[in-house]
Amino acid sequence: MRNSGLAVVEAIVPTRKDHTNLRRERFLFALDQRAFGPGRVLVAFADRRARFVGLAHTRRPKRPEDALDPCIQHMRTFPRASEAVAAVAYCDERVNDEPPGDMATRFAYGRLIAMESGIHLVDWFACDDERFRSSKLALEPGQPWWQVP
């Protein structure tokens, strides 16, 4: 069972004039995730065409995947977020040369959490001040990055 503690979640919702495409600009979010402060989990949401529809962020809990559900539920309070079918998570955590041994388990757990709310978790990025790592690209090499069922 997931942690049922409280999480303070903040959100950003773009106007319709914003044309950010998460498929093309996914690395920009990874490079700039620290702008929201250290020790955060950011979740960027997109529609089926990968058009950015919002971003929610919260303090990174002990199990970072536990931040997904509060972020998803908070985004549901914004009308524009009703278009969200996909998400990409960015977690401020140390990125080592070798992927962590639990990467596949963490990514699968994150996908399960998102799926329970009708969102497909496209990727989970671990990010620090110098590097970032895509779980999707590490675990599913050769597969198209943006795959939304």
Distance CA 12, CA 28 (A): 16
Picking from 109, 142, 137, 105, the residue whose alpha carbon sits closest to that of residue 123 is 137
pLDDT at 41 over 60: yes
Task: Supply the mean pLDDT for the chain.
Answer: 90
CB 25 within 8 Å of CB 33: no
pLDDT digits over 120-146, tens only? 999 999 998 889 999 999 999 888 888
CB 95 within 8 Å of CB 126: yes
Question: How is residue 84 written in tokens?
Answer: 């969200």
State the DSSP H helix or E strand holding residue 37, giving kind and residue range, or none if neither.
Answer: none
pTM: 0.91
Question: How is residue 114 written in tokens?
Answer: 């998102």
The pLDDT of residue 4 is 54
pLDDT bucket at 88, cuts 50 / 70 / 90: very high
CB 46 within 8 Å of CB 110: no
Could you tell me the fold of the domain covering 9-139? Cytidine Deaminase; domain 2 (3.40.140)
Distance CA 51, CA 27 (A): 15
pLDDT digits over 65-83, tens only? 999 999 999 999 998 888 8
Q: What percent of the chain has pLDDT over 90?
A: 65
The pLDDT of residue 101 is 83
pLDDT digits over 8-20, tens only? 899 989 988 999 9
Average pLDDT over residues 50-58: 95
